Amino acid sequence: MGADHAAGGPAAGIKSNDPCWCGSGRKYKRCHRGMEGRVLEGRVSPMLTVPAGIPPTPYYATGVVERTDERMVKSPEIIAAMRVAGRLAAEVLAVTGAAVAPGVTTDELDRVAHQAYIDRGMFPSTLNYHEYPKSICTSVNEVICHGIPDDRPLEDGDIVNIDVTGYIGGVHGDCNATFYVGSVDDESRRLVETTRECRDLGIAAVRPGRPISDIGRAIQQHAEAAGYSVVRMFVGHGIGQQFHMSPSVPHYYTPDASTIMEPGMTFTVEPMINIGGWREKMWGNGWTAVTVDGSRSAQFEHTLVVTEDGVEVLTPEPA
Ligand code: MF3
Ligand code: CO
Ligand code: CO
């Protein structure tokens, strides 16, 4: 699947005990043998700054996130503020997605997004969140989530998820989408379209009086019927004045997700769906999750609010 990473690849005839082509100093067989075609960790540029006029998140200065006793059900004023934050976050996602092309680095996508937040008076929620260093997440191919933008140029045939979260009016808006880089193979396209459908079927299951577990049931049924698996380690989340809070929104069925949905509850639905198995492993940077088997993973995310008779998406795609 895919071509070798532009930063390197094995020389013809490389042997198991030769030094790895990546420069690690380890033997090829103990390093990159069998990993060709996988996404490699690149170089991360210094953290960008935001103009002083844009109110920062409460954790930006320290990187330490303090929990508050925020309710799951929001006031009409908070919901109104989240409608604004959500609409603007969706605009940043669209602007950044339009910059996706072969040869563009994920660091360049981060710069495009960073400027798009600033243009809208938003503060990037991810900046220094638990010390996360960038303004978006960019997750390529087998990266499940929390890819850190770096100097890897996108390659023709890649898929890349861009996850945008912005803070304005004291609240967050969180959304993501998976984009095609140049011409993408049919199986990857089926994965991406199925994942979008999973997100939308999960949202369609939102209604007051029903348990959160209805959402994961709908998503898992659709993903598994297509022959795919649902990531378990990462879940949707309550959101508002805090970036991540209760409730937890698993994208697979579990009776543990027993919270009853009520009008005014705000949370995300953001399924990560894999072509192969659901298991993840973490990169050494402590953030980035990839599929254990190297199979591709896609994701789509909306922030939403439960209404009297169903659901309102707070991060609608700009018309
Ligand atoms: N936006 C992601 C989500 O959907 C969270 C990113 S947190 C970060 O919940 F620190 F990794 F950026
Ligand atoms: Co989210
Ligand atoms: Co997100």
Residue whose CA lies nearest to ligand 1 atom number 12 = 126
**317 CA from centroid of ligand 3 (Å):** 15
Q: Which residues pair with 269 in a beta bridge?
A: 302
**227 CA from centroid of ligand 3 (Å):** 25
Residue range(s) of every CATH 3.90.230.10 domain in the chain: 43-313
Residue 83, CB-side half-sphere exposure with 13 Å CA sphere = 10
314, amino acid identity: L
Q: Largest Cα–Cα distance in the chain?
A: 66
153, amino acid identity: P
Q: Is 146's C-beta closer than 6 angstroms to any atom of ligand 1?
A: yes
Residue whose CA lies nearest to ligand 1 atom number 8 = 126
- Omega before residue 318 within 30° of 0, cis: no
Task: Phi first, then psi: give them for residue 161, nearest 5 degrees.
Answer: -90, 135
Tokens of 73: 């059900």
One pLDDT digit (tens) per residue for the chain, 319 residues: 333 343 568 888 999 999 999 888 999 999 988 888 899 999 999 999 999 999 999 999 999 999 999 999 999 999 999 999 999 999 999 999 999 999 999 999 999 999 999 999 999 999 999 999 999 999 999 999 999 999 999 999 999 999 999 999 999 999 999 999 999 999 999 999 999 999 999 999 999 999 999 999 999 999 999 999 999 999 999 999 999 999 999 999 999 999 999 999 999 999 999 999 999 999 999 999 999 999 999 999 999 999 999 999 999 999 9
Q: Taking the domain 43-313, which CATH number applies?
A: 3.90.230.10
| Run of H or E residues at 95 | helix 76-97
| Residue 49: partners with Cβ closer than 8 Å, 6 or more residues away | none
Total-model pTM? 0.94
Tokens of 257: 């997700």
Neighbours of ion ligand 3 (CB under 5 A): 163, 174, 176, 301
